[in-house]
Chains A and B, each alone.
Chain A
Amino acid sequence: MSFLPKPKLHHPGLGCNSLGFTKRDYEGAVSTLCAGCGHDSISAAIVRACFELDLPPHRIAKLSGIGCSSKTPTYFLGNSHGFNAVHGRMPSVVTGANLANRDLIYLGVSGDGDSASIGLGQFAHAMRRGVNMTYIVENNGVYGLTKGQFSATSDKGAKSKSGATNKDEAIDLVGMALQLGATFVARSFSGDKGQLVPLIKAALSHKGAAFIDCISPCVTFNNHQGSTKSFDYVREHNEAVNFLDVIVEKEEIIVDYAPGATEIVRQHDGSLLRLRKLGESDYDPSDRAAAFTFLEQRKAQGEIVTGLLYVDPTADDMHDLLGTTTTPLNELSEATLCPGGTVLDKLNASLR
């Protein structure tokens, strides 16, 4: 942990995006996490993704629960809205916020403890409701903040730093998100920004519930021999199925890959996802059933599958399903919001 603020001086060639902001403008306070924590790399990836997408910082809301991972919103997007919820309750707060103001870009940041242990139910409902948000779990397999107890994503047989073996089955949040109806599901690794940044960009431009399970080694409590969430272990077992480029509107598409190896997916907002397939597998991210099978097979072989695992680019979100007004509530007049007793009576009558 550093006490000094990050110097304001920056590289003289530091570029601006179309809003006139530099990457540095998307940073937050200096991190107080342990030096080398994977979560800090994810923060850096979020900064880069928002910068590259030209997102106006004041249109982003970052929300989190409790944990080292949930502390990170302080360390990025210092000019955005933030909400630090009770342990595991971030999804409900995002759901409520999104219902009230559908125009903000929602970024939920959580941990494996926050989402897979105490907050599992909350996580499940945000996914199945299709809340339009990017949901990132910074997954280190432990409760980092409370000194490294196994979390619900810790693999069966994994060893703790003190030598104890985890006997319980692990919750695979990717599998759950798929099953619960999330329309964008990915897994990545904090140590591979080349893969992670485009995934965050794609998730931020996705309409509907976009979930990223990001393995993020806890250097202090879970980066030892016998851990399945350490830098070395993840690097050795990482099987990336595809590499993503996000092309926002206006940019020209240059197809420079061999045909067949590349797929272009157009999302709701017009952004294009260019997927380059990696390795032997002919992985198809539009086939949900195949995704389940593939993930199970590779898991059995001890591989950690990463990349964009499933996407439904034409998905609807919670507002579409509920038929709510397209206008954020704070832009509606009081008369519209509280139309008065007569309207209420009418409504009640219609329900009788």
Chain B
Amino acid sequence: MQPTNITDPGFFHKVVDCQYACPAHTPVPEYIRLIAAGRYSDAYMLNWQSNVFPGILGRVCDRPCEPACRRGRVEEQPVAICRLKRVAADYKDDITARLPNVPTAKNGKHIALIGAGPASLTVARDLAPLGYDITIIDDGNAGGGMMRTQIPKFRLPDSVLDEECGYIEHLGITRRYGERVNSLKSLLDENYDAIFVGTGAPRGRDLDLPGRTEAAENIHLGIDWLSSISFGHVTSIGKRVIVLGGGNTAMDCCRSARRLGGESVQVVVRSGFEEMKASPWEKKDAMHEDIPILNFLVPKEFTHEDGKLTGLIFEKVKAEYDAKGRRNLVPAGEPDIHIPCDDVLVAVGQENTFPWIERDIGIEFDKWGMPIVDETTYRSTHEKIFFGGDSAFGPKNIIWAVAHGHEAAISIDLLCSDKSLGDRPPPHVTLASQKMGIHEWSYGNEISDDRRYLVPHAEKALVLCNIKAEVELGFDPVLALAEAERCLNCDVQTVFTENLCIECDACNDICPVDCISFVDNGDEDDLRTRLNAPAQNLTQDLYISSDLKTGHVMVKDEDVCLHCGLCAERCPTGAWDMQRFLFNTAKATDKAGSSCCKS
């Protein structure tokens, strides 16, 4: 193998598993260290710069970082990255003085953002400090999009939404709330320099089964039903409720139903329990609220009597795998079952719909009715129209919407500066030694053996009778510190200097996870089998030196390195050093320099 080029930021970026997995590439270990140091406001601002909604995401993020966390590969559970983010939000001081200044002299460019969800708000946050005149148009009465209308208050209280949407709305942005855009053509006529479409995926998929029309009164589309709750239009439901579907919406529906009078609430999914789209913690929370999840049942028919729903008939299925390992659901050959109920909530998926976009204005749509959007620039086939969030590539989640928003903002800024959209600014990267003394580092390199701490919950009886009562209470500072100590500081990189190495084996001997080997070079497949511990995780790279004096090369399997720094402590010549790798994706706001996000 060729020696690793560590000057390519891509190499160390990948080592920071959580940050790499985060769509917005939040510098996770850096903010966790700030939390451990009690610097909550600094941790908050670091988050705010990259993911815009730390308090919101610290409660409801889909957390792609956690399954990626290295800790989950060396013990059972990842670091509670998401819930630590909430700690920064909960315990910070007033940070309003650290928010960006909005220039009084505008740059003369006018941008319209349709929809006030996380995608649009991110674009607004990134462009307003540069002097753009921003107008947000949303058919609701408050900002936040689905974060406000769909996500139940017991997971995300309004106060948190108000605060974090407010930080952006107060950057001198024109809000046209309560207004629906019914024609993109007429909005184009308002002569904006660019338009960003962040209208989400607003339509719930229906289930067209026998009995659907007859029993319509008691069959509700999940996402519509949830927004009716948040608007206060729906305040009760029948005692026996069936929720169809296995994603986030289904989990929010069943838990909401338990709070509005549902005594026997059951979730029914077609596939197996393990394959459900909902996250493991969402399923756990639902089951904790006495909601059973029944699997391998395909709904066949709504039963009804005198125009009133009486229940649902399900066919039992089982999973069969074909030669290619693809799963098919086939009839189990058992009799159908009937589950009686008073109401059904249909949460089987969400769709995009753009009835308000004329098809002759230069935006091309594919055969599924989705706009054709560039995956790097987020521009549609219309020069001035951009898409992001759920409206771009279908329903995802908040953090993806934020990531899209950042990139779209860069594109809009490039467009308005007459630059090529391909000319994207590179990430900001620094690599600096953390050595303070012979065995002293400016980060805590002692590895905590603690297992993941659970976030305290409010008492079940209390939350089930008040749909607005928040269930999770968040970590207190003591628990937060203990959890923060579990972080392995994966951004503090092991950096190897071959010409200093005397091949004494000290690093190889001390390494608690057998990461380091000195072996004859070979091609990657062969090398992976010849290391101290075979490197079987192909998603993690090998770090390889050039030839050493004996002709061996140093090979480090990045997979399970604890970043404990013991290799560097035991190295007599300083051939190993621990260096902090800070990586921040470029943001449009960077141009505003120090006036933005004062820290």
Contact = CB atoms under 8 A, between A and B. Distances in A.
Contacts of B560: 11-12
B534 to A, nearest CB: 7
B447 A9 contact: yes
A324 to B, nearest CB: 39
Interface string B526-562: 0000000110100000000000011000000000101
Contacts of A44: 505, 508-509
A247 B497 CA distance: 38
Bin the interface of chain B by size: 20 to 34
A9 B509 contact: no
A164 interface: no
Contacts of B373: none
A193 B533 contact: no
A231 B512 contact: no
A333 interface: no
B564 A7 contact: yes
Bin the interface of chain A by size: 20 to 34
Contacts of A35: 438, 506, 569-572
A190 B536 CA distance: 29
A41 B505 contact: yes
A141 B235 CA distance: 86
Contacts of A6: 510, 512, 566
A319 B28 CA distance: 64
Interface in B542-597: 549-550, 560, 562, 564, 566, 569-573
A14 interface: yes
A8 B348 CA distance: 45
B445 interface: yes
Given A7-B447, A11-B560, A231-B502, A40 B512 contact: no
Interface in A1-53: 1-4, 6-14, 24, 30-31, 34-38, 40-41, 43-44
A231 B548 CA distance: 13
B75 A9 contact: yes
Interface string A209-249: 00000000101000100000001100100000000000000
| Chain B residues touching A, majority SS | loop
B98 to A, nearest CB: 36
| Chain A residues touching B, majority SS | loop
A34 B564 CA distance: 18
Contacts of A8: 447, 449, 512
Contacts of B512: 6-10, 24
B514 interface: yes
Contact of A13 (B536, B564, B573): B536
Contact of B504 (A9, A14, A43, A191): A191
A9 B446 contact: no
B193 interface: no
Contact of A38 (B445, B504, B508, B566): B504
Nearest to A231: B502
Contacts of A36: 502, 504, 506, 570-573
B451 to A, nearest CB: 12
B73 to A, nearest CB: 6
B327 interface: no
B439 interface: yes
B570 A40 contact: yes
B439 A3 contact: yes
Contacts of A37: 506, 572
B432 interface: no
A14 B514 contact: yes
Contacts of B449: 7-9
Contacts of B573: 36
A41 B562 contact: no
A231 B447 CA distance: 32
B177 to A, nearest CB: 51
Contacts of B465: none
A328 B510 CA distance: 37
Contacts of A3: 439
5 contacts: A1-B438, A4-B445, A7-B449, A43-B509, A193-B505
Interface of A: 1-4, 6-14, 24, 30-31, 34-38, 40-41, 43-44, 190-191, 193, 217, 219, 223, 231-232, 235
Given A7-B564, A11-B74, 8 more contacts: A1-B438, A4-B564, A11-B514, A12-B73, A14-B514, A36-B504, A193-B505, A231-B502
Interface of B: 73-75, 438-439, 445-447, 449, 502-506, 508-510, 512-514, 533-534, 536, 549-550, 560, 562, 564, 566, 569-573
Nearest 3 A-B pairs (CB), nearest first? A36-B572, A7-B447, A44-B509
